[in-house]
Amino acid sequence: MLGGGISIGLSAALDMLAMLFSLDKRVSKYLLIIDREHVKNVDDVVNGLLARGFTVRGMERCYDEVCYVFIVERGGRRGAVVVSIQGKERSIEENIAELIRMHYNEGVGSDKKSVKEWFKRKGLSVEEAIERSNHELLGKHFQH
């Protein structure tokens, strides 16, 4: 829990998933993007789903050890949950920093503060930088 009562990490993401799964019956597909520092292995995700009353009916790895699709049931509803684990060692900022190095030829630290400062200096948002990058670079740097 961060100051101000903001929860982070896998547990918070799965709590939110459980709440959303219960609230909106029209939605059946969910995407969780989580930093590697919060997930030691895929069993953490499975156990977290089970602890929140989900039944895991299937699991498929969609890319190396970084992307999984879970078919789940809870409260008589069935859905798909895609979990994308980001960061080579810790967080998605590592992927973003590498993208900046490759696309903009500029070095930037792989911590949240450095990445945020780089975007502020450039007057860009993450979304704009991603839109300007080509698909080959995105595939290369967001697979981890």
Predicted structure pTM score: 0.74
Task: Single out the residue of 77, 69, 62, 81 nearest to residue 13, CA to CA.
Answer: 81
Q: Residue 3's pLDDT band (boundaries 50, 70, 90)? A: very low
Report residue 25 as tokens: 């019956």
Q: Which residue, 65, 74, 56, 91, is CA-closest to 18? A: 74
Classify residue 136 by burial, with Cβ atoms within 10 Å: 0-12, 13-18, 19+. Answer: exposed
For the stretch 89-128, pLDDT in tens is 888 888 889 888 888 889 999 898 999 999 999 898 888 8
**pLDDT at residue 62 in the model:** 87
pLDDT digits (tens, 9 = 90+) for 69-86: 999 999 999 999 999 988
